[in-house]
Amino acid sequence: MEVKGGSMRVAVIGAGTMGAGIAQVIALGGCPVMLHDTADSILRRALARISRSIDQGVRLGKTDPARARRAKRAFTLTTALERCTAADLVIEAVAEDRALKLSVLRALDDLVTPETILATSTNTLSVSALAAGTRLPERVVGLHFCNPPHLMRLVEVVQGEHTRPAILDRAMAFVRSINRTPVLLPDVPGLIVNRVGQVYYGEALRLLDDAGVDVPTVDRLMEALGFPMGPFRLMDFVGVDTAYDVSQALYEATFHEVRYRPHPRQRRMVEAGQTGRRVKPGFYPLGSGPDQG
């Protein structure tokens, strides 16, 4: 199958924050999107978030109004997994839980055609291990859209141990067709973005204890060097809980490599509900820090 612009039919499984963000990018890229989740209410909320995000892009002058209108018409919502069988590409974007992701991939394995690409959005689990649980591991690939997908142009395309070169070629072409930048990677723990990101967070957290500097000072210094966000602003943006979970997963996957060891301060903040993401205070109070960006 040849990929040209919006010719690829895509299904996204999981309408949470990441799944909805991926679906939005694909719709704006010109592809029809089947968005699946377990309840109509989840799907309706996801579509409302997507619509608001697209509208904001128009207001900010970043999205052409005609393109926005086409994207909003690109969605089909469903709670029936079997309706996704017509897709050329199915992206699993459920919660970062190995058993759950494997169950979704196995269910899809029994429904879709052998030519369908099965992609996992995981950023901490082994693509090869997930693929090994399917009948055709050679058609499984990783597509890690960086968070938030509608703002971040990079997509890490992950080659599992069994992924066929032809599948990789189709996945790379698809990412380019939706105006994103694919980077081909082997199946290594944390890929590129998370490995660099966790060191960025970890060193900043250690500076609070070792050097006696404060959160705003570290962020101001890093932003003055040209980083779009300092490490604490960035953790608040993606979620302190998310950063902590990724750090734990990477620490385990690398057999306790000290660079990726979670910091006690992260755990204390998560336990106290200080998770950021514009919903709760994190390293900054609500109404300051990344919420003003």
- Residue 293 forms part of a structural domain: no
86 and 221, same domain (yes or no) = no
Structure letter (DSSP) for residue 89: E
CA distance 161 to 139: 11
- List the pLDDT tens digit at each of the 293 positions of the chain: 334 444 799 999 999 999 999 999 999 999 999 999 999 999 999 999 999 999 999 999 999 999 999 999 999 999 999 999 999 999 999 999 999 999 999 999 999 999 999 999 999 999 999 999 999 999 999 999 998 898 889 999 999 999 999 999 999 999 999 999 999 999 999 999 999 999 999 999 999 988 889 999 999 999 999 999 999 999 999 899 999 999 999 999 999 999 999 999 999 999 999 999 877 899 999 876 544 43
Tokens matching residue 280: 């709760």
Same domain, 32 and 142: yes
Query: What per-residue confidence (pLDDT) applies to 282?
Result: 94
> How many domains does the chain contain in total?
2
Q: Which residues are catalytic?
A: 144
Tell me what pLDDT residue 289 has.
Answer: 55
Residue 182 and residue 199 in one domain: no
Domain boundary among the residues 186, 206, 231 is at: 186
> 114 and 25, same structural domain?
yes
| Residue 247 and residue 179 in one domain | no
Determine the pLDDT at residue 280.
87
* 260: three-class secondary structure by DSSP: helix
Region for 32 from its dihedrals, namely left if φ exceeds 0, alpha if ψ lies in -120 to 50, beta otherwise: beta
Domain that holds residue 268: 195-285
Relative to beta strand 154-159, strand 140-145 is antiparallel
How far is C-alpha 181 from the geometric centre of its chain's CA atoms? 14
Q: Are residues 118 and 243 in the same domain?
A: no
Q: Go through 1-17 and write b for each residue having 16 or more CB atoms within 10 A of its CB, e for each that does not.
A: eebeebebbbbbbbbeb
Q: Indicate whether 107 and 164 sit together in one domain.
A: yes
Decide if 112 is inside a domain: yes
- Do 104 and 13 reside in the same domain of the chain? yes
